[in-house]
A and B are shown apart, each in its own frame.
Chain A
Amino acid sequence: MTEDETSDLAADYVLGLASAEERARAEDRITRDPAFAREVEMWQARFSELNVEFAAVVPPSAVLDRAEHRLFGASGPLRGGVLGWLRRAMQSRGATGGTVRRPGPAILLGLAVVTAMALVAIWGTPLYRPGAPLAELSAPDLQIAVRGDSQRLVFRRLSDAPDPEGRSYQLWLIRDGQVASLGLLAPRTTEVSAEVRAGDVLAVSLEPAGGSPGAGPSGPVLATAQIPSL
Chain B
Amino acid sequence: MTEEPLADVLLRMAQGERAALRNLYSEAGPKLFGVCLRMLKDRAEAEDALQEIMVKLWSKAHQFDPMRGQPMSWVVTVARNHCLDRLRSRTAALRREAAGSNDAAMLEVADAGPGPETLVEMKDEARRIADCLATLDTDRATAIRSAYLDGRSYDDIASAFGIPLNTLRSWLHRGLRKLKECMDA
**Which residues of A line the B interface, CB within 8 A?**
4, 7-8, 11-12, 14-20, 23, 41, 43-60, 62-64, 66-68, 70-72, 76-77, 87, 90-91, 93-94, 97-98, 139-141, 218, 220-222
Contact = CB atoms under 8 A, between A and B. Distances in A.
A187 to B, nearest CB: 21
A98 B23 CA distance: 15
B1 A90 contact: no
A220 to B, nearest CB: 4
B168 to A, nearest CB: 9
B18 to A, nearest CB: 6
B34 A57 contact: yes
A203 to B, nearest CB: 10
A91 B177 CA distance: 44
B140 interface: no
Contacts of A93: 1
A56 B34 contact: yes
Contacts of B84: 16, 23
Given A20-B89, A64-B54, A139-B17, A47 B148 contact: yes
Contact of B30 (A45, A51, A56): A56
B148 A44 contact: no
A64 B21 contact: yes
A51 B154 contact: no
B109 to A, nearest CB: 15
A38 B135 CA distance: 25
Given A41-B68, A63-B47, A46 B30 contact: no
Interface residues of B, number: 70
B147 A15 contact: yes
A50 to B, nearest CB: 5
A46 B180 contact: yes
Contacts of A218: 1
Given A47-B129, A48-B76, A64-B54, A58 B30 contact: yes
Most buried by B among A8, A14, A67: A67
B144 A55 contact: no
B35 interface: yes
A16 B151 contact: yes
A59 B30 CA distance: 6
A11 B102 CA distance: 27
B114 A53 contact: yes
Contacts of B77: 44, 48
Contacts of A46: 129, 179-180, 183
Given A49-B126, A51-B72, A56 B19 contact: no
Contact of B17 (A14, A66, A220): A220
Interface in B1-32: 1-3, 12, 15-23, 25-26, 29-32
A67 B172 CA distance: 38
Given A7-B180, A15-B148, A66-B51, A49 B21 contact: no
